[in-house]
Amino acid sequence: MNAEAKYEDGELQDAMEELSSAEDFLNFFDIPFDASVVHVNRLHIMQRFHDYLSQNEESVAQCEGNDNAMAAVYTALLTRAYQDFVESDALTEKVFKVFKMQGPQTTFVSVDSLLQE
């Protein structure tokens, strides 16, 4: 079963529970992809997909009870997430917190505090 199929209410979520990798999601939603891009960026793609879902909660909520509309929204957002990493890279996209951290900060430690017992 793929995302183009007609779903009865609740079937989409049940089918998606079986998906475990970025490749599974991309195949399920019939999104063509370059395996080398996904291999390097799979976690980033899935996190960006999650971020897009969070940013589009209203659109997702409007699809409640309509699995076919929900599949269309998921397909559009996952395609967008994948394309972000086709056109850019993980360091530039800064999906994870570690990439968003500020530069190193200096902390003053006095010699007196080091010499105290």
**8 A C-beta contact, residue 72 and residue 31:** no
Neighbours of 105 (CB within 10 A): 5
Q: What is the pTM of this model?
A: 0.74
The pLDDT tens digits for 24-56 are 999 999 999 999 999 988 988 999 999 999 999
Residue 92 CB partners (closer than 8 Å, separation 6+): none
Tell me the domain boundaries of the chain. 11-115
> pLDDT confidence of 77, banded at 50, 70, 90?
very high
Residue 101 has a pLDDT of 52
Residue 32 has a pLDDT of 97
Residue 7 has a pLDDT of 73
**8 A C-beta contact, residue 103 and residue 56:** no
Residue 109 has a pLDDT of 75
Residue 91 has a pLDDT of 59
**Between vectors from CA 109 to CA 107 and to CA 110, what angle results, nearest 5°?**
145
